Amino acid sequence: MEVIVRASADAVADYVHDRIVEQLRGVPSSVLGLPTGGTPVPVYARLVESYRTGVISFKQATTFNLDEYIGLGSEHPASYAAYMRHHLFDHVDCPARRRHIPDGLASDVDAEAAAYDRAIANAGGMGLLLLGLGENAHIGFNEPGSDFASRTRPVDLAASTMAANARYFTDGTRPPTRALSMGIGTILEARSIIVMATGPRKAEAVRRMVREAPTNEVPGSALQLSRDVTVVLDHAASSKLERHLRPPCQQQQAPQ
């Protein structure tokens, strides 16, 4: 696990954007795992600009999103399908048939989850997966207590997760209590993983993810078991690590 610290959230977004550009230029048919939430928004904005200026194309790429709320259809404004269209897919050339997001309205959520894992496998597995990190150290919607071998499945959301996501439900409705999420086992099969976290509210989750021994009470700590993980932080998110990092806090190997 490599930890890279940048001066600001914008600098974190620049780094992650550059990694994805490098991936797509090197392997145009890459299979990408993509997150939602506030942290990756500036990354998607930069990718859209790079597409518009001819730096990259998504035409041969395949994407798999981490999760979707159970009970929300793709046209619901708070669905992750709508989020992805707004921030990325409506602005780049990734074909609809190559874009995958769990179906929140599936009549059989267990069958939908199993089919999603099969689709990832049939695509050859994820070459590069981008993750955010929750304040309780969740990855995807894998809340504390998630089995490290878990596959894509329906999950119950923690109260803290629903509270953090309430701002996306502008009509005053409460967020759904369940979601379909890639499991930790599914996540760990990605050949390369980037985790991005910014802001002081993520600092404790970052510390636990990087410094504590892997435990399912800290879902992000499972990433210590991956062969290729880069954690990209701004100074605020790294504040509980920085005493261990060499100036100018650019990078260091975290303990396995």
Which pLDDT score is estimated for 175?
A: 81
CB atoms under 10 Å from CB of 236, counted, come to 16
Which pLDDT score is estimated for 151?
A: 97
Three-class secondary structure of residue 142 per DSSP: strand
Residues 79 and 75: their CA atoms lie apart, in Å, by 7
Sequence letter at residue 89: F
> In which residue are the tokens 């390369």 written?
192
CATH number at 2-253: 3.40.50.1360
| Residue 157 burial (10 A CB sphere; 0-12, 13-18, 19+) | buried
Per-domain residue ranges for the chain?
A: 2-253
Catalytic residues: 67, 136, 138, 143
Which pLDDT score is estimated for 255?
A: 40
| Residue 244 burial (10 A CB sphere; 0-12, 13-18, 19+) | middle
Which pLDDT score is estimated for 35?
A: 97
- Sequence-distant (6+) residues with CB within 8 A of 48 are 87, 88, 91, 92
Residues 56 and 24: their CA atoms lie apart, in Å, by 7
- Sequence-distant (6+) residues with CB within 8 A of 213 are 221
Would you give per-residue pLDDT tens digits along the chain (256 residues)?
999 999 999 999 999 999 999 999 999 999 999 999 999 999 999 999 999 999 999 999 999 999 999 999 999 999 999 999 999 999 999 999 999 999 999 999 999 999 999 999 999 999 999 999 999 999 999 999 999 999 999 999 888 788 877 777 776 677 888 999 999 999 999 999 999 999 999 999 999 999 999 999 999 999 999 999 999 999 999 999 865 544 333 444 444 3
Q: Please, are residues 220 and 133 in contact by the beta-carbon 8 Å criterion?
A: yes
Sequence letter at residue 199: G
Which pLDDT score is estimated for 218?
A: 96
Q: What H or E segment, with its residue span, contains residue 51?
A: helix 41-52
Q: Using alpha carbons, select from 185, 180, 181, 182 the residue that is nearest to residue 223.
A: 185
Residues 206 and 212: their CA atoms lie apart, in Å, by 10
